[in-house]
Amino acid sequence: MMKKYKLGGTFLLQYDALMDARYQRLLKDLPAGTFEIGAWWELPQPLIEKAGLKWRGRYAWDWHADVGFSTGYTPQEREKIIDVYMADFKNIFGFYPKSVASWFIDAHSLNYMYEKYRIVASANCKDQYGTDGYTLWGGYWNQAYYPSKINSYMPAQNEKNQIPVPIFRMLGSDPVRQYDTGINFSRQGVITLEPVYPEAGGDANWVNWFLKEFVEGESMEFNYTQAGQENSFTWDAMKKGFEIQLPLLARLRDEKKVTVETMEKTGLWFKKNYKITPATSFTVNKDLENSDLKTVWFNSRYYRLNLLWEKGGLRVRDIHLFDEKFPSVYTTQKATSNECTFFTLPVVDGYLWSKPHQLAGLRFKAVINGKEELLEGGDPVISDIIPGRLKISWPLKAQKGTIQIDMNEKQTKITLVGAGALIWFLDLTTAGSFKLPFKAIGTRRLDAEFEDMKYGISTLQGTFSKPGGETVFRISPERNTIKLDLSNGN
């Protein structure tokens, strides 16, 4: 099908597939340049034993984090495993792979692959909580980032502290629904572009909607998604989804609305254009039929922020800060559990701090007729015309004013214009009973601690307070403006 629609792509080989003569024959016959062959970094029994290590898995391929992934091995063992894979790959194909991806690859392995074998691109899983025993939560939400040398899930703030290999986020998450699907359960569901999911990547309505918003939404520098699938799902499960997606991708390519290319080529493009991680966004201006939801994901090397519009209201659903000094234990030590967790620094978490009918978030409120009420508005207008800035205008209904939100890589500024002397503010509420990271709420600074890392946010304009009741903290404007420094002092 890829040949039929003249769509190139990347095939990443797990070691047992790499060593299978059938895959070797199949892939060697593909035209170089159009198709790329790289490495999929899950570690099956033949690779571990060839590296001289004892296999601890339940099966010849075991998805547990302490067995089937690099996190399950010491840094020295990881280097041995990499060397064995790379030697066999070069012996078969005549070159070293330029792209290496997996649900997750630790920073030590990535840096070793870069320094010794000069890989140019990597990818990890979308944000997820608990799926298959893997939690990646709070990271650079889409597109790509340069990781910290001590934590490959954490975007670096400075060139000297980053691994110079962009990590792309896989699978094409639903920007509206993926984030908080599964609040009722201990593990999340999956709503992605993957062709095997009948209500998402295997559904024509969803695919057309997703790619329309992907192409037309404001993305600042660039937007990115990965269309593809693990072949362990087998062809019958993914056939329908690919038959929907591939002709649509080919048409969008022909219309010059998307570029379809190999991961290596995208990695080289990213490295040529960005010395440090850029600010990007993923915007949904119109949701699926019978839904009024709209969302904006903003990402920079310092923080991510998510806005969600629903039934006339606006909620800041998520804010996480990034800090290259926040280490991952898996960089230097091997995992001792069959599950792995990777986090950044939470300020607002609309998933983990929520319950099904009590969703956490920062909400826009005002005092109206002596009572605190949620502000209501119309459809937002979003612009990325000014480089490095995302501007949002949200017209209010009853108050006749407009909330203007201006985000750049370090700061978010919120201003109310044209509404007279309205008393307005943002309140953070959660579903209660959750352990929150906040240690001190001062007038100008909110101090927090998570996994022994101290961090915080400051106001350059506006004040923090603790009004009591269910409100964790309140942010009030000065001269109708709130200006937050979200760079954590970096």
Q: How distant, in Å, are the alpha carbons of 178, 240, 318 from that of 202?
A: 16, 6, 28
Separation between Cα atoms, residue 52 and residue 2, nearest integer Å: 39
DSSP single-letter state for residue 3: T
Q: Which pair of tokens denotes residue 68?
A: 């089937």
- Return d(Cα 313, Cα 1) in angstroms, integer: 44
CA dist., res. 288 & res. 84, Å (int): 47
Residue-wise pLDDT tens digits, 349-387 = 999 999 988 999 999 999 998 999 999 999 999 999 999
Angle between helices 75-93 and 107-117 (to 10 degrees): 40
The CA-CA-CA angle for residues 48, 51, 55, to 5°, reads 30
Taking alpha carbons only, the member of 162, 108, 101 closest to residue 126 is 101
Structure tokens given for 223: 């937007």
| The pLDDT of residue 344 | 96
Which has the closest alpha carbon to 368: 452, 425, 300?
A: 425
Specify the 3-state DSSP secondary structure of 101: strand
DSSP letter for 377, please. B
- How far is the C-alpha of 70 from the C-alpha of 65, rounded, in Å? 8
**Cβ proximity of 467 and 428 under 8 Å:** no
Residue type present at position 403: I
pLDDT score at 132? 73
Name residues whose C-beta falls within 8 Å of residue 139's C-beta, 6 or more positions apart in sequence.
Answer: 127, 145, 153, 154, 155, 169, 304, 320, 322, 342, 344
Say what the pLDDT of residue 175 is: 97
Alpha-carbon distance 330 to 169, whole Å? 19
Helix, strand, coil fractions of the chain, as percent rounded to 5:
20, 35, 45
Among 249, 228, 225, 221, residue whose Cα is nearest residue 172: 225
d(CA 80, CA 58): 22
Q: Is the pTM of this model over 0.85?
A: yes
Nearest to 302 by CA among 146, 68, 439: 146
Q: Identify whether the C-beta of residue 457 lies closer than 8 Å to the C-beta of residue 485.
A: yes
User: How confident is the model over 248-291, as pLDDT tens digits?
Assistant: 999 999 999 999 999 999 999 999 999 999 999 999 999 999 99
Tell me the DSSP string of 354-413.
-BTTB--EEEEEEEETTEEEE--B---EEE--STT-EEEEEEBSTT--EEEEEE-SSEEE
d(CA 70, CA 103): 10
Q: In the chain, which residues have pLDDT < 50?
A: none
Report the C-alpha gap between 304 and 275 in whole angstroms.
19
| Tokens representing residue 18 in the block | 């790499």
Write down the residue that tokens 């099966």 correspond to: 59
Bridge partners for 280 per DSSP: 220, 299
The two three-digit tokens of residue 459, written as one number: 């106001």
Residue 400 pLDDT: 83
- 71-100 pLDDT, tens digit per residue, is 999 999 999 999 999 999 999 999 999 999
Q: What tokens were used for 429?
A: 């509420």
Give the pLDDT score at 278: 98
| Four-residue CA torsion sign, 453, 459, 462, 463 | positive
- The reported pLDDT for the residue numbered 299 is 98
| Neighbour tally for 337: CB within 10 Å | 12
pLDDT confidence of residue 481:
97
CA distances from 457 to 267, 320, 432 (A): 32, 11, 22
3-class SS of residue 93: helix
Give the pairing type, strands 134-137 and 340-343.
parallel
